[in-house]
Amino acid sequence: MKRIYLDHAATTPLDERVLNAMQPFFWQKFGNASSVHSFGTEAREAVEKSRETVAKAINARPEEIYFTSGGTESDNIAILEIAYANRERGKHIVTSKIEHHAVEETCKFLEKDGFMASWLGVDKEGLVDLGEVGNAVTGKTILVSVMHANNEIGTIEPIVEIGKICREKGAFFHTDAVQSVGKEKIDVNKMNIDLLSSSAHKFYGPKGAGFLFVKEGTEIQPLMHGGGHERGLRSGTENVPGIVGLAAALEIAEKEREKENARERILAKKLLKGALGIENSWLNGPAIGPKRLSNNVNLGFDFVEGESMVLMLSDKGIAASTGSACSSKSLEPSHVLRAIGLPHVKCHGSLRFSLGRGTTAKDIDYVLGALPRIVEKLRKISPLRKGVDISEFEEDIEHVHGHEH
Ligand SMILES: Cc1ncc(COP(=O)(O)O)c(C=O)c1O
């Protein structure tokens, strides 16, 4: 069966050029980067060259790049280390209601440990309000963590301005750029960023490799203790093939970024236009354009369950996702869709397509051929179909679930 992968926000395939760059470091150049012999120095040189490549891509200095195992680890290190190193100055952190769980859960953990978190709301496009950021940051605020681009609805946050507010008010600014690195131009200096998280498997690099940028002079306190790798911040033998792969993938992504974004944007528009031809459908998040990642199309369909759509699309060979719209266990609707003001029922009818380098116009045609029939089928068997008063139903659900923060 034909298989079409439209879930690049979840992960991307490894680029063959990246695989070629990594391969020698699995077996021929297998040394431990901490060893002093030639096997070790060979590995060390590769790690340091990779660090330079990464630093250049985001206009940082090599000493400001720390290799990690990915986005979740980078987010945890950034938030926890800033919090614990600066707790004497204040125990207040500011974050948004649409963060990835890696940030959200880390902030909730800190709340349980005596810190106070302010959760910024967003507008219907998913954008945080700069006035609200300014009001939330006080003399006691040690950290503001707002993501660069949202993984579910693709919203690109005004991080330059958020960073500026943080600078003025003396709070550190961390941004989770897991979805944007390799897709959006990043300049940590111009963007006033103190800490930035990234993960290689989102830009055609290997899984289990990521980096954290920490601006020089930022007070941090290591969480991992051991051999003092990564200048004491993240002990543990370096994942040399992963690091080499991350750097190679980032270099390629940076070179191809603009052209690829333009190509994906055309395909995204085509998908959107076709899908909106289905009645009672809508786009979640900002219009396709500068406020949205070029590859993200998050659609909603009334009277349909997103999870059922994902399964039926999968039967047709199409890989899409509900984002983290609802975990099959809890059936909780996406906190991101709730934050943009979508009622519970509509959250459940949402579906994310995320395009990538391999996506073609033919793929989009194929999806647009399959989608209307799937929606129609599901609507036929849906208890939410036309004629049922959704607003009444919604109240019941609201009553059961209550509002999220
Ligand atoms: C915005 C965002 N942050 C963090 C992560 C976690 O990254 P990783 O899978 O590398 O741990 C993801 C992954 O989906 C993400 O989209």
Host H or E run for residue 339: helix 335-339
323 lines ligand 1 (CB under 6 A): no
Residues 180 and 36 in one domain: yes
Give the Cα separation of 218 and 79 in Å (integer): 12
What does the pLDDT read at residue 266? 98
CA 393 to centroid of ligand 1, rounded, Å: 34
Mean pLDDT of 109-116: 98
Quick check: 291 pLDDT over 50?
yes
Domain containing residue 187: CATH number: 3.40.640.10
Mean pLDDT of 160-169: 97
Sort 262 into a burial class: Cβ within 10 Å, 0-12 / 13-18 / 19+.
exposed
Tokens 């979740």 — which residue? 72
Residues 248 and 367 in one domain: no
Q: Is 326 a catalytic residue?
A: yes
Residues 293 and 390 in one domain: yes
- Residue where a domain stops, chosen among 201, 233, 253: 253
- Ligand 1, atom 9, lies closest to the CA of 71
Give the Cα separation of 340 and 94 in Å (integer): 18
151 lines ligand 1 (CB under 6 A): yes
* pTM listed for this prediction: 0.94
CA 278 to centroid of ligand 1, rounded, Å: 31
70 lines ligand 1 (CB under 6 A): yes
| pLDDT tens by residue, 46-83 | 999 999 999 999 999 999 999 999 999 999 999 999 99
Confidence of residue 203 (pLDDT cuts 50, 70, 90): very high
CA 179 to centroid of ligand 1, rounded, Å: 7
- DSSP state string for 35-49: -SSHHHHHHHHHHHH
| pLDDT tens by residue, 337-391 | 999 999 988 988 999 999 999 999 999 999 999 999 999 999 998 876 655 555 5
Mean pLDDT of 11-17: 98
What does the pLDDT read at residue 332? 80
Quick check: 402 pLDDT over 50?
no
150 lines ligand 1 (CB under 6 A): no
Domain containing residue 355: 4-8+258-401
Quick check: 324 pLDDT over 90?
no
Confidence of residue 168 (pLDDT cuts 50, 70, 90): very high
Residues 326 and 307 in one domain: yes
CA 277 to centroid of ligand 1, rounded, Å: 32
- % of the chain beyond a pLDDT of 90: 86
Residues 149 and 268 in one domain: no
Number of domains composing the chain: 2
- Ligand 1, atom 16, lies closest to the CA of 151
Residues 143 and 167 in one domain: yes
Q: Of the residues 107, 166, 326, 347, which is catalytic?
A: 326
178 lines ligand 1 (CB under 6 A): yes
Q: Are 369 and 320 in contact (CB under 8 A)?
A: no
Closest ligand 1 atom to residue 151 Cα is 16
- Cross-strand partners of 5: 319
Q: What is the mean pLDDT of the chain?
A: 93
CA 176 to centroid of ligand 1, rounded, Å: 8
Sort 216 into a burial class: Cβ within 10 Å, 0-12 / 13-18 / 19+.
exposed
What does the pLDDT read at residue 223? 87
Quick check: 31 pLDDT over 50?
yes
- Residue where a domain stops, chosen among 253, 286, 303: 253
Residues 264 and 336 in one domain: yes
Confidence of residue 405 (pLDDT cuts 50, 70, 90): very low
356 token code pair: 């990538």
Alpha helix positions (H), 192-239: none
Give the Cα separation of 300 and 92 in Å (integer): 36
What does the pLDDT read at residue 404? 37
Residues 319 and 265 in one domain: yes
Quick check: 231 pLDDT over 80?
yes
Give the Cα separation of 189 and 86 in Å (integer): 22
Residues 393 and 262 in one domain: yes
Residues 103 and 174 in one domain: yes
179 lines ligand 1 (CB under 6 A): yes
Residues 358 and 229 in one domain: no
Residues 207 and 339 in one domain: no
- Residue where a domain stops, chosen among 253, 278, 302: 253
Quick check: 108 pLDDT over 90?
yes
| pLDDT tens by residue, 171-198 | 999 999 999 999 999 999 999 999 999 9
What does the pLDDT read at residue 212? 98
Alpha helix positions (H), 35-115: 38-57, 71-85, 101-112
Give the Cα separation of 129 and 265 in Å (integer): 26
Give the Cα separation of 385 and 305 in Å (integer): 11
Confidence of residue 2 (pLDDT cuts 50, 70, 90): confident
147 lines ligand 1 (CB under 6 A): yes
Domain containing residue 300: CATH number: 3.90.1150.10
